[in-house]
Amino acid sequence: MPALTINGQLREVDSDPGTPLLWVLRDTLGLMGTKYGCGIGQCGACTVHVEGVATRACSVPIAKLAGKLVTRIEGLHVNGTLHKVQQAWLDLDVPQCGYCQSGMIMAVAALLEEKPQPTDRDIDVAITNICRCGTYQRIRAAIHAAAKA
């Protein structure tokens, strides 16, 4: 049985090592914060952090995660305080339907870790997640607000 460290907790999973992380999170462990969107790594709804790097969970088999820290949206806050990206999302009322937002927030948090003051070009290159509601202007505004926080 593979073991995964998810949000700081070691979790034993009874899944085939080739099973994508997304399905282990949702189906095996019942952790629903990471969303299924396309299943082929295109939309970004399933984005999590693997060792701090934004990763599409539908595209990485759990066998590749041994010994690595996986952080999901629920693990982004610290001691009950929202991450600055989560707070910016609330302050600027970013989501409409909200389905893509957990993956979007995870992608943005990874970007700000790498580039604390991203330019619009940096955002365009790094944030390839798809929002079907089209809240891209509010997303960009929230990224810049979080960068100032």
Domain ranges in the chain are: 3-75, 84-148
In this structure, what token pair is assigned to residue 51? Answer: 């060792």
Burial 42-75 (b: 16+ CB within 10 A, else e): ebbbbbbbbeeebbbbbebbbeebeeeebbbbeb
Residues in the chain: 149
* CB atoms inside a 10 Å sphere around CB 141: 15
Q: Which CATH class is domain 84-148?
A: mainly alpha
Q: Which CATH superfamily is domain 3-75 in?
A: Beta-grasp domain (3.10.20.30)
Residue 1 has pLDDT above 90, yes or no: no
pLDDT digits (tens, 9 = 90+) for 70-125: 999 999 998 999 999 999 999 999 999 999 999 999 999 999 999 999 999 999 99
Using H for helix, E for strand and C for coil, what is the string for 84-122? HHHHHHHHCCCCCCCCCHHHHHHHHHHHHHHCCCCCHHH
Give the CA angle between residues 124, 58, 65 to the nearest 5°.
105
Residue 2 has pLDDT above 90, yes or no: no
pLDDT digits (tens, 9 = 90+) for 43-61: 999 999 999 999 999 999 9
Residue type present at position 34? T
| pLDDT at residue 3 in the model | 87
Alpha helices (runs of H) in the chain, residue ranges in sequence order: 21-23, 84-91, 101-114, 120-126, 136-148
pLDDT digits (tens, 9 = 90+) for 8-44: 999 999 999 999 999 999 999 999 999 999 999 999 9
What is the model's pTM?
0.95
Q: What is the mean pLDDT of the chain?
A: 96
